[in-house]
């Protein structure tokens, strides 16, 4: 396991992060995603710790708060010293009825952070993330609330999730101008079958020193290797086809991954994860599992190495189609000479 700086912060996190969205599900969408209860969750957390993972991600909305409670209890059951792990959670989703039961308002954030602390059984949250963009709340209000939590020590670092490039950039600028706590990270969807983030978001993150945490690195199981062009079978995507994937292009990617995996004696999933670990902008990749063998397979991705030729082949089959202004920027790059800008 390797460890990376999260953006420009002093926080060091493992290159793989254990996601806990499979913890605590009972009915509806959370039951379809995962129904792991305490004993099974303890086993996965222990396996992650044994492999060198120090980073755990959850959200208040996962399984209606049960994911946070199970994660916190697992760390206590295993006797883990609090300062030895980095615990991240999120706020935004609807937690109760009424107009103020969701969002990124000051009121909702201050109410929900206390409930997350109680469920996790901890005195502080290492990384507190806004789970999406709230169109009803000014960014200034959200950042002011988060800054207050950092100043009092309830939260150590702040992050965003599922924000557009312009929204993140606006938040970075406001935080800098008002001397608020800086944005340490963005949690976003990024896979070799869905590289949309490379158009605007990743160049912005690299420019501003914001770390990238990747969610659903196997595209909701699409990159697990178990799906074929003939159908989605009985896996998770058969009943919960998310996140969206261009399946025609995606299967072309899987074909190459499968061929390389066979040559290396690896799984398709391991290579899909390893490709992300080879991307410069990525700070940590969130992996989740329902079974110990799934997690063990994912953890082995840290040992996968690619040759330059293999990376070039994967890039060719998965690269984005050129869009404006990208193709014009590329065309005009040579006007001034000198080194190429970072990508």
**Residues belonging to the active site:** 62
Nearest to 84 by CA among 43, 45, 44: 45
Collapsing DSSP to helix, strand or coil, 329 comes out as: helix
Query: What's the CA gap between 87 and 312, in Å, rounded?
Result: 35
Q: Residue 34 carries which DSSP code? A: -
- Rounded CA-CA distance 242/263 in Å is 30
* CA nearest to 255, candidates 280, 275, 279, 227: 227
3-class DSSP assignment, residue 287: strand
What gap in Å lies between CA 41 and CA 149, rounded to an integer? 29
User: Tell me, what DSSP letter sits at residue 64?
Assistant: G
Closest-CA residue to 16 (of 56, 43, 46, 44) = 56
């Amino acid at each position: 396991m390797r460890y990376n700086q999260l953006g420009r912060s002093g926080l060091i996190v493992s290159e793989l992060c254990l996601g806990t969205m499979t913890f605590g599900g009972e009915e509806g969408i959370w039951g379809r995603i995962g129904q792991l209860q305490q004993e099974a969750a303890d086993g996965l957390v222990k396996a992650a710790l044994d492999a060198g993972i120090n980073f755990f991600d959850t959200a208040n909305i996962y399984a209606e708060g049960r994911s946070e409670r199970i994660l916190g209890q697992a760390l206590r059951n295993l006797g883990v010293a609090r300062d030895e792990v980095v615990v991240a959670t999120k706020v935004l989703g609807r937690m109760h009825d009424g107009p103020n039961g969701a969002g990124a308002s000051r009121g909702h954030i201050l109410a929900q952070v206390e409930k997350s602390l109680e469920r996790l059984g901890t005195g502080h949250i290492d990384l507190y993330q806004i789970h999406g963009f709230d169109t009803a709340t000014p960014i200034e209000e959200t950042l002011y609330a988060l800054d207050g939590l950092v100043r009092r020590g309830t939260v150590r670092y702040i992050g965003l999730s599922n924000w557009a490039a312009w929204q993140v950039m606006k938040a970075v600028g406001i935080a800098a101008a008002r001397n608020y706590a800086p944005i340490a990270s963005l949690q976003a969807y990024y896979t070799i079958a869905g590289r949309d983030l490379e158009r605007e978001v990743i160049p912005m993150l690299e420019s501003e020193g914001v770390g990238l945490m990747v969610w659903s690195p196997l595209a909701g199981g699409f990159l697990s290797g178990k799906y074929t062009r003939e159908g989605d079978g009985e896996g998770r995507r058969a009943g919960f086809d998310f996140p969206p994937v261009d399946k025609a292009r995606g299967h072309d990617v899987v074909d190459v991954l499968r061929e390389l995996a066979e040559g290396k004696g690896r799984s398709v999933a391991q290579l899909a994860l390893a490709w992300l670990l080879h991307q410069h902008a990525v700070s940590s990749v969130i992996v989740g599992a329902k079974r110990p063998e799934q997690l063990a397979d994912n953890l082995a991705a840290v040992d996968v190495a690619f040759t330059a030729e293999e990376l070039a082949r994967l890039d060719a089959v998965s690269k984005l189609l050129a869009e404006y202004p990208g193709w014009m920027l590329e065309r005009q790059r040579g006007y001034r000479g000198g080194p190429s800008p970072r990508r």
